[in-house]
């Protein structure tokens, strides 16, 4: 295809620019910036403008058909092009009569996307159209082909039309001597020289002149036979090279490509900088969050170790209560006190229980509170420390997110204190113990009452028989046995109560310290989990941002080699 070097370069720049616009719009760049890039894209996509002029029947339309390898312009032995035609691309064929002298032909032929082609009637017949062609198309044309026919090379109308044109419009002028297959090479040489001389005389310079056969060139391009020979004989190759050269070297076109490229390069650098800036920020933020995670894990370990010390202290306090509790139990459970069960079924069991609880509470509470305070202070101190790191080391926009979600520590502290208190109360609140003791009290009470009743009955019998009969003796023996049994029961009851309390309280020590340890660990874990949750939510924000920027970064990276290639070719 003619002008393919330029078209290829333009195509690559278009694709680079289109990629850049897509990236910019995804990155929501300001509308003005995108509009500028769109305008540049439209500007460079503007098709090349080729104009052909020359004598009637000199083979102008045939030359265009041969150049583009498509018979889009009407060719005839009779005058065929009766008005100026401009050929443009459209997906459907149509014609618009712009005026009686100009028709716009829209054709779905791919090359017309890159070229607008102006075909004109013979210079000798289009006097009226001269001015329009000259003024509307010549100044903008990338290539102006002036056709002379070997069949009639001496006519004046071409030169008269050339006289009519401003010299500045002739910079892209090419003379084409057409239909060379109709004459011998020697004749063509003569005509060629004649054209050179006349051009020098009338224009003051000699444009490039190419003697060609459009008929053979078209055949070479469209028929399957003898392609190479026909192409050789058409002498089209040098003409095409010249066209290629003019278009590629055309300063307005190349300047346009170059300046468009420079603007696009700056825009790509801008986008790249923004992407890099964001990616750097994200990886710095991720590193800070990772560091915070590490610090948090360390502090968690430290605090867990510290809880062991705290629990040991509570344990010591608990042990100290054991001695005092034993004393209290001994005092309140003297064996003769068990006799009170005869007239009091519970014999103050409830009061004893309350007393024990109050004593335990009184002795342990200060130590418990101290431990809770120590741990609370530690946990409370952790957040400001983390907050400080977040505020000083995270990027400004992530800091904003960090501030929006301060963890709810108040609720957690309350929950922690409550759970410790519950564990504490639980030491003595063993329902089983209470029930067992109640059962023991009630059984002892019933047994004692029965024995007392037996003793009374036996005593009464002895009194009534005046202590002399065998019956009286037996009654006294029974009363004696009853008395001994009652003493045994009272002792046994005391022993059972003391043993039950001991059984309840000794394993409770381990249970209690284990619960305490568990509650401490739970509190620490939930504090840490709350903070880790916050770091995780910030990390997720980083990840979301990363997912947004990474494809853009890849896209920008993909554009880089394209732009480097364009730079080397555009200079
Ligand atoms: N032998 C030969 N005939 C050609 C060549 N090019 C065109 N012709 C013939 O010349 C005649 C005129 O060709 P066109 O291409 O219509 O010439 P034109 O200058 O466009 O004619 P108008 O539009 O009427 O001014 C046609 O019969 C073509 O077949 C060529 O290279 N060799
Ligand atoms: Mg024609």
231-261 core/surface letters (b: 16 or more CB in 10 A; e: else): bebbbbeebbebbbebbbebeebbebbbebb
Taking residue 432's Cβ as centre, other Cβ atoms within 10 Å add up to 9
CA-angle at 111, arms to 58 and 84, nearest 5°: 40
CA of 228 to the centre of ligand 2 (A): 26
The token pair at 42 is: 């439209």
Looking at the fold, whether 55 and 183 belong to one and the same domain comes out as yes
To test the ligand 1 pocket, which listed residue (57, 119, 133, 239) has its Cβ within 8 A of the most ligand atoms? 57
Of all ligands present, the nearest one to the C-alpha of 63 is 1
The token pair at 119 is: 């075909």
Looking at the fold, whether 209 and 172 belong to one and the same domain comes out as yes
CA of 200 to the centre of ligand 1 (A): 27
Looking at the fold, whether 245 and 285 belong to one and the same domain comes out as no
Looking at the fold, whether 239 and 305 belong to one and the same domain comes out as no
The answer to whether residue 374 is domain-embedded is yes
Looking at the fold, whether 311 and 195 belong to one and the same domain comes out as no
Looking at the fold, whether 167 and 241 belong to one and the same domain comes out as yes
Number of domains within the chain: 2
User: Can you give the residue range of the structural domain that contains 307?
Assistant: 271-570
Residues in the chain: 571
Ligand 1 pocket at CB < 6 A: 56-62, 75-77, 79-81, 121-122, 178-179, 181-182, 213-215
Asked whether 115 and 103 are in contact (CB, 8 A), the reply is no
The answer to whether residue 54 is domain-embedded is yes
The answer to whether residue 23 is domain-embedded is no
CATH code, domain with 84: 3.40.50.300
The answer to whether residue 306 is domain-embedded is yes
The answer to whether residue 15 is domain-embedded is no
User: One digit per residue, pLDDT tens: the chain, 571 residues?
Assistant: 788 889 999 999 999 999 999 999 999 999 999 999 999 999 999 999 999 999 889 999 999 999 999 999 988 777 778 888 999 999 999 999 998 888 999 999 999 999 999 998 888 776 666 677 777 888 889 999 999 999 988 888 889 888 888 888 888 899 999 999 999 999 999 999 999 999 999 999 999 999 999 999 999 999 878 899 999 999 999 999 999 998 887 778 888 999 999 999 999 999 999 999 999 999 999 999 999 899 899 989 998 898 888 888 888 887 887 777 777 777 777 766 667 777 776 667 777 777 777 777 787 778 777 877 887 788 777 777 777 878 888 888 788 777 765 566 667 667 777 776 776 666 655 566 677 777 877 887 888 888 888 888 888 888 888 777 788 888 888 888 888 888 888 778 778 777 777 776 666 777 778 878 888 888 888 888 888 888 898 899 999 999 999 999 999 999 999 999 999 988 7
The token pair at 29 is: 């760049």
The answer to whether residue 489 is domain-embedded is yes
Give the closest residue (by CA) to ligand 1 atom 25. 56
pLDDT in tens, 498-546: 777 777 666 677 777 887 888 888 888 888 888 888 889 889 999 999 9
Residue 566, helix vs strand vs coil: helix
The answer to whether residue 262 is domain-embedded is no
Inter-axis angle of helices 157-164 and 185-203, to 10 degrees?
Answer: 30
Q: Residue 518: its pLDDT value, please?
A: 86
Of all ligands present, the nearest one to the C-alpha of 119 is 2
Looking at the fold, whether 229 and 368 belong to one and the same domain comes out as no
Looking at the fold, whether 305 and 417 belong to one and the same domain comes out as yes
Looking at the fold, whether 196 and 324 belong to one and the same domain comes out as no
The answer to whether residue 188 is domain-embedded is yes
Q: Residue 522: its pLDDT value, please?
A: 85
């Amino acid at each position: 295809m003619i002008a393919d070097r330029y078209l290829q370069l333009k195509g690559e720049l278009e694709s680079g620019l289109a990629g850049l616009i897509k990236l910019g719009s995804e990155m929501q760049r300001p509308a003005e910036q995108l509009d500028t890039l769109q305008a540049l894209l439209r500007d460079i996509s503007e098709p090349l403008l080729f104009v052909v002029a020359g004598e009637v029947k000199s083979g102008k339309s045939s030359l265009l058909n041969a150049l583009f390898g498509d018979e889009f312009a009407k060719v005839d032995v009779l005058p065929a092009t009766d008005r100026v035609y401009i050929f443009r691309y459209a997906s459907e064929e149509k014609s618009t009569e712009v005026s009686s002298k100009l028709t716009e032909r829209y054709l779905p032929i791919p090359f017309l996307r890159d070229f607008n082609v102006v075909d004109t009637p013979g210079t000798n017949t289009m006097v009226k159209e001269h001015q329009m062609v000259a003024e509307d198309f010549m100044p903008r044309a990338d290539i102006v082909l002036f056709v002379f026919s070997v069949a009639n090379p001496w006519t004046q109308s071409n030169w008269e039309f050339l006289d009519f044109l401003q010299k500045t419009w002739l910079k892209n002028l090419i003379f084409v001597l057409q239909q060379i297959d109709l004459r011998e090479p020697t004749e063509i040489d003569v005509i060629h020289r004649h054209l050179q001389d006349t051009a020098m005389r009338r224009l003051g310079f000699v444009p490039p002149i190419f003697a060609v056969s459009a008929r053979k060139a078209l055949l070479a391009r469209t028929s399957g036979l003898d392609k190479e020979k026909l192409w050789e004989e058409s002498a089209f190759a040098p003409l095409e090279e010249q066209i290629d050269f003019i278009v590629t070297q055309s300063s307005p076109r190349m300047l346009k490509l170059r300046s468009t490229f420079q603007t696009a390069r700056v825009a790509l650098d801008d986008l790249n900088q923004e992407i890099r800036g964001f990616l750097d920020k994200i990886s710095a933020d991720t590193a800070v969050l990772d560091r915070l995670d590490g610090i948090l894990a360390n502090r968690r370990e430290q605090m867990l170790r510290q809880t062991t010390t705290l629990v040991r202290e509570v344990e010591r306090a608990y042990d100290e209560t054991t001695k005092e509790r034993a004393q209290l139990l001994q005092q309140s459970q003297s064996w003769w006190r068990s006799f009170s069960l005869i007239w009091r079924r519970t014999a103050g069991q409830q009061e004893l229980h309350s007393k024990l609880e109050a004593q335990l509470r009184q002795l342990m509470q200060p130590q418990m509170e101290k431990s809770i305070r120590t741990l609370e202070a530690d946990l409370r101190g952790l957040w400001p420390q983390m907050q400080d790191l977040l505020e000083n080391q995270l990027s400004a926009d992530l800091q904003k997110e960090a501030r929006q979600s301060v963890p709810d520590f108040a609720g957690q502290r309350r929950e922690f204190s409550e759970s410790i208190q519950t564990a504490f109360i639980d030491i003595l609140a063993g329902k089983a113990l209470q029930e067992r003791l109640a059962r023991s009290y009630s059984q002892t009470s019933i047994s004692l009452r029965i024995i007392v009743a037996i003793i009374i009955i036996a005593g009464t019998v002895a009194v009534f028989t005046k202590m002399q009969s065998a019956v009286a003796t037996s009654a006294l023996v029974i009363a004696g046995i009853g008395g001994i049994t009652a003493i045994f029961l009272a002792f046994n009851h005391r022993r059972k109560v003391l043993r039950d309390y001991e059984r309840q309280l000794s394993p409770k020590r381990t249970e209690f310290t284990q619960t305490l340890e568990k509650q401490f660990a739970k509190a620490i874990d939930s504090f840490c989990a709350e903070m880790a949750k916050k770091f995780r939510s910030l990390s997720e924000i980083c990840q979301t941002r990363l997912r947004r920027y990474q494809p853009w970064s890849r896209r920008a990276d993909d554009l880089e080699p394209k732009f480097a290639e364009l730079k080397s070719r555009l200079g």
